[in-house]
């Protein structure tokens, strides 16, 4: 049980929050992806001031470390690592895809059409018809590791013949236009910050910390020229 500062600059909406025992106390968001870097420090100061919490009193810094925007990932992780070094606090890293999968799993609890066993397939838009994706079972065990996929109408064809797949994330919108199968279920995502806070709290409880010195963004594919992101 603890106090966590969370940072997510992996996708189009940046988020910073302060949470206690997995419940968010204060949060701020930014929807201008090119301004995520300038948004972070003022937002952190603002939420801590509003919550009347001193930065040195947090128990850990959590950050979403990819895949996603190359520039956003670097900005978020660099800020989180800098805070960890300065404050001598542990670092928690959360996969963007695992976060989306967990968010989808929470949403499926109210979906009566799902069978007992199904797959979760979060997707992040990587431009054109490419997505960053992975596949998890409904215990959040990795079935297909994170990868960059150019989506075609035959993508997931074999899996869909035998299993229901729940797709979510901003990359799933393009998939919904070309994949049509009764076992393909497309859902939106909401309360992502609550899912992030819950996963981060679970990591803190289980002492699942990243190595501050060696943590790197999880890009999934090679960075050709990161500044273009």
Return residue ranges of the chain for CATH 3.30.420.40: 3-95+192-228
Q: Which CATH architecture has domain 96-186?
A: 2-Layer Sandwich (3.30)
CATH number corresponding to 3-95+192-228 = 3.30.420.40
Q: What is the pLDDT along the chain (229 residues), one digit of tens a residue?
A: 699 999 999 988 999 999 999 999 999 999 987 888 899 999 999 999 999 999 999 999 999 999 999 999 999 999 999 999 999 999 999 999 999 999 999 999 888 778 888 999 999 999 888 999 999 999 999 999 999 999 999 999 999 999 999 999 999 988 899 998 999 999 988 789 999 999 999 999 999 999 999 999 999 986 544 444 4
**Measured distance CA(149)–CA(30) in Å, rounded:** 28
Query: Strands, DSSP E only, in the chain?
Result: 3-8, 14-20, 23-30, 60-64, 91-94, 119-125, 130-137, 142-150, 165-168, 184-186
The whole model's pTM is what?
A: 0.93
Order of strands, sheet of 14-20, starting from the edge strand that comes earlier in the sequence: 23-30, 14-20, 3-8, 60-64, 91-94
């Amino acid at each position: 049980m603890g106090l966590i500062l969370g940072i997510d600059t992996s996708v189009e909406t940046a988020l910073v929050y302060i949470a206690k025992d997995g419940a968010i106390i204060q949060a701020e968001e930014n929807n201008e992806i090119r301004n995520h870097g300038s948004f972070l420090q003022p937002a952190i100061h603002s939420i801590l001031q509003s919550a009347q919490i001193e930065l040195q009193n947090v128990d850990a810094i959590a950050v979403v470390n990819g895949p996603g925007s190359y520039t956003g990932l670097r900005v978020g992780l660099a800020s989180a690592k800098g805070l960890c070094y300065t404050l001598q606090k542990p670092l928690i890293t959360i996969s963007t895809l695992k976060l989306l999968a967990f968010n989808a799993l929470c949403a499926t609890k109210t979906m009566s059409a799902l069978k007992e066993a199904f797959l979760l397939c979060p997707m992040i838009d990587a431009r054109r018809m490419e997505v960053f994706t992975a596949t998890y079972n409904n215990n959040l065990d990795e079935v297909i590791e994170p990868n960059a996929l150019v989506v075609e109408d035959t993508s997931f064809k074999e899996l869909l013949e035998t299993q229901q797949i729940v797709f979510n994330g901003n990359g799933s919108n393009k998939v919904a236009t070309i994949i049509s199968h009764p076992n393909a279920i497309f859902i939106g995502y909401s309360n992502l910050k609550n899912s992030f806070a819950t996963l981060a709290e679970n990591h803190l409880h289980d002492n699942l910390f990243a190595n501050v010195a060696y943590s790197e963004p999880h890009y999934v594919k090679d960075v050709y020229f990161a500044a273009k992101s």
